[in-house]
Structure 1
């Protein structure tokens, strides 16, 4: 069971599920509706994670990825296929149970993840599924409310920037293995040396969007801008893992600010 969960990219999946749950709480959804939103997002993220490892199985074996349970033989291909199929079957009714509009938006989020796995990850457009999925996730949670309502324009934009930043950071540890198997998405074209700085810039832009949308005079906006400015300086002046860790800090600050604004 542990290997199967790891094959679903449990860490990133749970991060997205937690973000959706916190957004639902910030939007004032009731307990039952929050549980439904979380269940739908969990099913979608599991399907994306498992499909990623299924599609990449041959590539992962070629570079001896010991961190991938499927490639390492810790779980069978059939088991992952069955689990992925169950998640796909579950995500449709769970999404639509949140409302037709909300459900369709969430299925766009899931479809974006599948398109990334199916080939966009190897192109200069690798960032697009992340932008669509994270931006649409904010819309999905807002539409899942009763009555449904669209969020202010700046919230999906901030979510999209957060998604692109997350993509740039998430790929950083896998650049060499990806290059060895012919994957050249946007992060690979930017290069490992410049990637943390570019990710930092994207995430800082997300912070500015949320601060402007929520109101620059709010204490949370001022604190977030000060924290992000300090982290950005560290990202641009420090070597080693400093830029990467600073970019992660900016991403977390963006999430907190987005939730506070909701």
Structure 2
């Protein structure tokens, strides 16, 4: 094999490792929701691209910093899904990627204007604070509450030129973020416990954690059903009923079988409902 082929193979493995270490699905999901909210808020094409770049690089910086900071912990627990734990990518490469992404999101965010830029960056700072130690405390959910609320405020300010959205928009964002925190952590409770990480979901346990997650998402449904101005009685009744019914079904499933995938899938259904409604009612 030629030297060029070897170099290409190493480069490809490095790119694959970086792609896996950035937490691609959450990063793309958050960016997609932000872009759709921005479009609904009146962003034109260039500013939509700028917003997407700012949010995506911020999420990439959070994802890469998470795996960078947790590298030793992931190796200790034998995390086969983590390229840093398996040696698939060097720690220094992920660290460099996290720093470059963080610097890039600072530039792109501030290009949107000082107020939306600062608010979006505060949300990114919340994600880094979580990675740097908040995740192992009872206040672990606070980082998600803050970061997702900041995201909705920053997107609104970037799109409409108004600093503050209606009060219920960041409230829904915070509740969705809180639910996302539990959804992200619950599958890793045992591995985290082995290395001393005890955030709020760990302290509550799988059964109570699923119930809290479903309750937060149902709360977002209730707010989305009742708070928007001009919402019809039929809309409010359907949204509130659907959110509460799904939460009740999730709670029942969690009590009966806390480790079953059914409860988690029901919470995903509530989250999708809330995200679609948030995008729709803010357009």
- Structure 1: tracts of 5 or more residues without a match: none
Q: Give the length in aligned residue pairs.
A: 262
Compare CA radii of gyration and give the structure with the larger one: 2
- Residue 127 of structure 2 is matched in structure 1 by 113
Give the alignment's Cα RMSD to 1 decimal: 1.4
Instruction: Give the Cα separation in 2 of the matches to 1:187 and 1:63.
Output: 19
Partner of 1:261: 281
* Residue 5 of structure 2 corresponds to residue 17 of structure 1: no
Conserved 8 A contact 2:222-2:239: no
SS in 2 for 1:75: coil
1:241 aligns with 2:261: yes
Q: Distance in 1 between matches of 2:115 and 2:29?
A: 24
Q: Deviations over 1:8-40 (max 9, x none)?
A: 111111111011011101112111111111000
2:213 counterpart (199, 211, 214): 199
Tell me the residue number matched to 2:84: 70
Structure 2: give runs of 5+ residues left out of the alignment: 1-14
Secondary structure at the aligned position of 1:184 is classed as coil
Q: Name the TM-score, length of structure 2 as normaliser.
A: 0.89
Corresponding residue to 1:228 among 237, 243, 265: 243
Q: Is the contact between residue 41 and residue 160 of structure 2 (CA under 8 Å) also seen in structure 1? A: no
- For residue 44 of structure 1, what is the aligned residue in structure 2? 58
Over 3 Å counting, the alpha-carbon distance change for 1:257 and 1:146 in structure 2 is closer
- How far apart, CA to CA, are the structure 1 residues paired with 2:162 and 2:215? 33
**Equivalent residue, structure 1, for 2:8:** none
- Looking at structure 2, the residues matched to 62 and 220 of structure 1 have their Cα atoms a distance apart, in angstroms, of 50
Which runs of structure 1 show a deviation greater than 3 angstroms over 4 or more consecutive aligned residues? Answer: 218-223
Larger mean CA deviation between 196-205 and 79-88 belongs to: 79-88
Aligned match for 1:131, one of 125, 136, 145: 145
Shift of 1:2: 2.1
Higher helix content, 1 or 2: 2
